[in-house]
Structure formats: C-alpha cells, structure tokens
Amino acid sequence: MRTRPAMNLNIGSSLVFAALCFACSGSSPTHVPTQGIVASANPSQELSRLYEEHFEANLGLNPSEAQAIGDYRYNHLLENNLSDEHIAASKELNDTYLARAQAIAATGLGPADRLRREFFIDTLLRERRAEPIPLHLLPVNQFYSVPNDFAVQGSGAGVHPFTTEKDYRDFIAKTSSFSLWVDTAILRMNEGIDAGIVLPKVLIERTLPQLAAQFESGNVKASAFYGPLRSLPASLSADERQSLVTDYERAIAETVMPAYQRLHAFMSDKYLAAGKSEHGLGGIPGGEQWYAYLVSHHTTTDLGPQDIHDMGLAEVARILGEMDAIRESVGFSGELKEFFIHLTSDPKFFFADKEELMDAYQDIKVEIESSLPKFFDLTPKSVYEVRPVEAFREKNASGASYQPGTADGTRPGVFYINTYNLKAQPKWGVETLSLHEAAPGHHFQISLQQEMASAPKFQRFSDSTAFAEGWALYAESIGKELGLFVDPYQYFGRLSDEMLRAMRLVVDTGLHAKGWTRQQAIDYMVANSALAKSDIEAEVERYMAIPGQALSYKIGQLKITELRAKAEKTLGTEFDLREFHNQVLQSGSLPMSILESKINLWLLSKQPHNNTTE
C-alpha cells in the first residue's frame, strides 16, 4: 500500500482528501460532451497552458499537495480543506477548467495529446461525481488523518523539510493552521452526529490513543514534534538558535499539544458516545448508494458490490488450491489449516529482532534491483529507503507502506516496515512485500511517473488507486520471472498476499453491502489465510475506515494481467515484455478504461497493415 501525506487516501488529510476524490473516480469510459467544442489554432499548446494553470492554481489551494511533490513555496500553510470556503473554491476551480478543456476540440491532436485531454477531463469529471458524498463529515480515522500526518511531519520524518531556519519558521506558522483545522474538524463531526454520519465506535477507540500520544506526557521535549530541534542547522548563531528553540517550544506547548487535546476530548466524550454500532456504510443514511458509488470510483470499473463479492469468493477458492499444492510440495502431512498454523507459529519462520527484520528487506532490495533490467527498459532515477514505522503510530499502522519521494530526488521514497509485532512479519513475506511496495511496485511506478519530464504536471502527479495498487499487485505476480520465489515458502508468501487482496473483495463488500460485522470479517479472514490475528484486525478496521479502497488492488491487477495476456496473444512471437511494461507505465496513473483504450491502440499500431504509432 502506498501512502500520501497523504499516496494514497486519508479522508482527513488535505492531500489524501484530494487523492480520495481522485481515486473515487468514474469507471466507464469518459463521455466528453461535444456541444460547445471549438477548434483552436493550436489545441495542443492551449491545452498545455490550461493543464499548467490548473495545476498551479490547485497547488495554491492545496499547499500539502505542493509539499508532497517537493514544491516548498507554501510550506508555511496548511489548507483547511474541511471549510465551506475551501470546498466551494475547489468546486469552482475544477468546474472552470473542466468547461475550458471540454471546449477545446480534439481535432488535430496526436495520440499522446488526445490521451492527456481525455485523462484530464476524466479526472475533473470524477471529482465532480464525488461532490455529493459528505466526506468532510468524517475527517478523522485511525488509518489516515491530518493529525497523524501532521505528527509525522512535525517529527522530522515526513515531507516537511527541516534544513534551514526558514523551514522551522514555516512549520511554526503552520501550527496555527493545524489548530484551526482541528476546530473545523470538531465542527464537522458535530454536524455528522446530527446527520447520523459517524464512525463506528471501534474506529473511534482506535483513534484516541494516537491523539493522546501527542499531548499526554505534558512534556514538550518528550513530544514527537521536538525531533527537529535535536538537529538544528549548524549555520545558526547562538542567539538565532535560542530564539528559534524558544518560539518552536512555545508553538508545541501552546498550539500543537492543546489542539490534539481538544480533539481527543471531543472524540472521547461526545463523539465516542455517538459512535455507530454497525461496522459498515449500511449503518449511515444513504450508505448503500454511497458504497455503490465508492466501489465504482475506486475500481474505475462498472462492477457492482455483488459482482465483486462473487469474484472474490472464486479467487479465494483458486488461491487456496495453490496454497494446498505448496503444502504438499514441502512435505507437510497435515491439513491446509494446520499448515497455516505451522507457518505462523514455528519460530524458524520469524525474525529474532527488529534489526534482523530490517536487514532482510535491505538484502532483498539489492537482489531485486539486479534483476529489473531484464524486464524493464525504464528504471527510475529516484532511490528509496527502507525504514521502520514511527513508534507513535506503529500499533495501528499497516504491515508495510510506501511514501513517495520527490521528482527531483532530493527526498527519497520510503518503504515503511512495521516492526511493532514480529509475528506479523514472517520471513516468507519478505520477497512479495518488497516487490509490491518498492520495486518494481509502488516506488518504481510512482517514481517513473513523477520523472516524466515532457508530460504535464497533472499527469506526472495524478493518483488512480486501481492503477497504482493494481500495478503493485501485478509486480508481485512477476516475481518468478524476476528470479524470485525459488523457495516454496517465499512463493507461499506471494500467495498469502494475493489471498489478502482476494479476501478484500469478499470482506469489504461484506462489511458495506451485506451487513457483516467486524467479527464476521475477522473470522472469514482467519479461516482462509495464514495472516497474524493482529494484522487481520488492522486490515478489517482499515476497510471499515476507507470503504471500497481495498477493492482496487485485485481489480486493477486483473485488468493489467488481462491486457498483458491479450498483448501476448495478439503479438505472438513479436511480444516484448519490456515494451508492454513501457506502454503501461509511460502515461502515468490511468483509470482502467483509459489504460485499456491505450493498450488497444498500441496493439492496433503493431499490426502489419497499420502504420499508426503511439
């Protein structure tokens, strides 16, 4: 899973909120109205200007998005994306540029420009479709939220730089904006209580310790936010250093910690009492329609909840068969469920300590990178680091995640490993997890996308969940071709991760469309996998917090695999896997419908009778 400060999909975080609206996109091929379209002397140049203007205006409106991509002009600001003003400004911005783009005819555009125009219009149409959903009434959860992201930034481990005095002063200024965001979040959650749109009680309970961790010690120097003060710029004079430390400590003590305390007090008192006993969207007004919308938009397909549920059941059955074959191949005489217990209890399958765990991921990083040139013409310039999840959020964080670096390489990508529970990080999961989160998965795909120097910025920094997560799961599936999974236990790890994505199709739809409880979802995953119980609980609560998002992995991977099979069949001996990978990766994070159209045009151009080039 990739994270954006939000990559990813934090309902509360500004960047994640924008990413969620983008990922909750329409699934059918874009219908571009023809009425009002006019020819332009140079439509390509006009569209390029339009893309740039929209991108720059959006960064001004959403400073967190700018910071996430390494644009630090607005580092002193944190947008209040929950306010009426911000919501109205976002709508006006997108409506204006949607109308302008639709008014420019595609006539005379080359294939790449036509794809960009369709992509841009599709993006804004999908954001428009998200407008009726009151996401702003659920601004905080345990999985993604502005408070968690702000703490990561403030610790010095996030996207906010701390290399100059100005960087520190910018963060001090931003603490006031965070305090305002907290007050607006409380207002919105009160509105949610009145409307019956409240988190399930269990998710509120998971969020409270995360908030409490930021103020309960009462000691500024024990705060995660104190981290940057331990490595002040060497260029500061003694007086400058003292002044900065004084102002920074005051901001933590008088602004940051009280903001977390206010939010915690509200959520522990009034909000928790109003928390839902139901565990899915069916427990809120309009939940059925809300979920059907999210399913379509997260997957960028027309599949409904029942279609996906049935697909998941079939995939679970298939993967169980492959797992049983692994059990037989290693000579285990017991039943498959006993094999699961063996794999999750025998000490030989687990790391002795956190250091050994982190070393294993460093080692596989080197091994994978040496194999990539055989199957990829393109490799990113950006590097990535392997880091443990920070202590303050490790208890409720996922097992692993990826945080993108900057396009210029000044901030590396980060492959986070959760070392909180070593029993949730078996040795047999190392190869597949690295393939998914790092290379050739998220780090590889996102870095290549950001490094498309000739593409407009909206294309370089877009985020379609079905594409990004589908690609990462596809990356797992080619592990054998890359020379991995020689050890049958490592291949079991690949099947285990694929099983997780298949079970998501069943469990996510079960929770939100079929009225499943949290315990029903946990029991289903325990019965069909070798995952640790703590991991399963965190996964189920994730699906409760961000409905529909987890469906995108398997749906996206199945589409990319389907397109590869079609290309292999169509081209026969002329098929080149590196060329196929180029076609998938070179246009950015596309909705599945647009990716399919692109691959179909490429295959048409490869036919002997057709001289069209892509």
Q: How far is CA 347 from the centre of its chain?
A: 32
Residue 569 and residue 358: Cα distance in Å, rounded?
A: 41
Name the helix (H) or strand (E) containing 386: strand 384-388
Edge-first strand order for the sheet with 400-403 is: 384-388, 413-417, 400-403
pLDDT (0 to 100) of residue 296: 84
Lowest mean pLDDT of 227-241, 265-279, 406-420, 552-566, name the range.
406-420
How do residues 189-215 score in pLDDT, each as one tens digit? Answer: 999 999 999 999 999 999 999 999 999
Give the percent of the chain with pLDDT over 90.
Answer: 78
Q: Helix count (H) and strand count (E) of the chain?
A: 25, 3
Domain segments of the chain: what residues? 22-133, 136-277, 294-553
Is residue 173's pLDDT more than 90? yes
Cα dist from 591 to 51, 114, 556, whole Å? 18, 15, 9
How do residues 49-90 score in pLDDT, each as one tens digit? Answer: 999 999 999 999 999 999 988 899 999 999 999 999 999 999
3-state secondary structure 504-528: HHHHHHHHHHCCCCHHHHHHHHHHC
Question: Which is higher by pLDDT, 286 or 23?
Answer: 286
Is residue 602's pLDDT more than 60? yes
How would residue 244 be classed by pLDDT, with cut points 50, 70 and 90?
A: very high
Tokens matching residue 301: 């397909």
Lowest mean pLDDT of 124-133, 369-378, 478-487, name the range.
124-133
pLDDT (0 to 100) of residue 292: 86
Residue 370 and residue 311: Cα distance in Å, rounded?
A: 36
**Among 66, 65, 92, 70, which Cα is nearest to 10's?**
65
How would residue 17 be classed by pLDDT, with cut points 50, 70 and 90?
A: very low
Tokens matching residue 391: 């202590």
- As beta bridge partners, residue 145 has 140
Residue ranges of the alpha helices (H) in 282-420?
A: 287-299, 305-329, 336-343, 354-371
**Among 451, 27, 297, which Cα is nearest to 459's?**
451
Cα dist from 414 to 47, 240, 351, 362, 417, whole Å? 34, 32, 22, 12, 9
pLDDT (0 to 100) of residue 610: 56
CB contact at 8 A, 229 and 253: no
pLDDT (0 to 100) of residue 4: 45
Spell out the residues 6+ positions from residue 514 whose beta carbon is closer than 8 angstroms to its own: 305, 309
Tokens matching residue 86: 């911000």
Is residue 24's pLDDT more than 50? no
Question: Which is higher by pLDDT, 111 or 478?
Answer: 478
Average pLDDT over residues 335-346: 94
**Burial of 362 per CB tally in 10 Å (0-12, 13-18, 19+):** exposed
Lowest mean pLDDT of 203-212, 341-350, 393-402, 555-564, name the range.
393-402
- As beta bridge partners, residue 402 has 2, 415
Residue 151 and residue 157: Cα distance in Å, rounded?
A: 9
Is residue 31's pLDDT more than 60? no
Tokens matching residue 153: 């930034």
Tokens matching residue 222: 């024990």
Cα dist from 363 to 83, 322, 367, whole Å? 46, 27, 7
Residue 237 and residue 235: Cα distance in Å, rounded?
A: 7
CB contact at 8 A, 12 and 139: yes
pLDDT (0 to 100) of residue 607: 80
CB contact at 8 A, 213 and 392: yes
- The pLDDT mean for the chain works out to 90
Give the percent of the chain with pLDDT over 70.
Answer: 92
Tokens matching residue 611: 């001289």
How would residue 386 be classed by pLDDT, with cut points 50, 70 and 90?
A: very high
Is residue 398's pLDDT more than 80? no
pLDDT (0 to 100) of residue 30: 37
- 351 phi and psi, to 5 degrees? -80, 150
Average pLDDT over residues 577-587: 96
Residue type present at position 100: R
DSSP 163: S
How do residues 176-195 score in pLDDT, each as one tens digit? Answer: 999 999 999 999 999 999 99
Residue 91 and residue 495: Cα distance in Å, rounded?
A: 43
CA angle 8, 12, 18 (to 5 degrees): 50
Is residue 438's pLDDT more than 80? yes
Is residue 337's pLDDT more than 60? yes
- 55 phi and psi, to 5 degrees? -60, -45
Question: Which is higher by pLDDT, 204 or 406?
Answer: 204
**Among 307, 304, 280, 305, which Cα is nearest to 512's?**
280
How would residue 39 be classed by pLDDT, with cut points 50, 70 and 90?
A: low
Spell out the residues 6+ positions from residue 343 whose beta carbon is closer than 8 angstroms to its own: 349, 426, 428, 489, 492, 530
Query: What torsion, rounded to 10 degrees, do the Cα atoms 170, 173, 174, 178 define?
Result: 170
**Among 209, 83, 213, which Cα is nearest to 152's?**
213
Q: Which of 212-215's residues contact partners 24+ apart within 8 Å by CB, and which partners?
A: 212/260, 212/264, 213/392, 214/147, 214/151, 214/256, 214/257, 214/260, 214/392, 215/257, 215/258, 215/260, 215/261, 215/264
The pTM of this model reads 0.82
pLDDT (0 to 100) of residue 8: 33
Taking the CB of residue 398, how many other CB atoms lie within 10 A of it?
Answer: 16
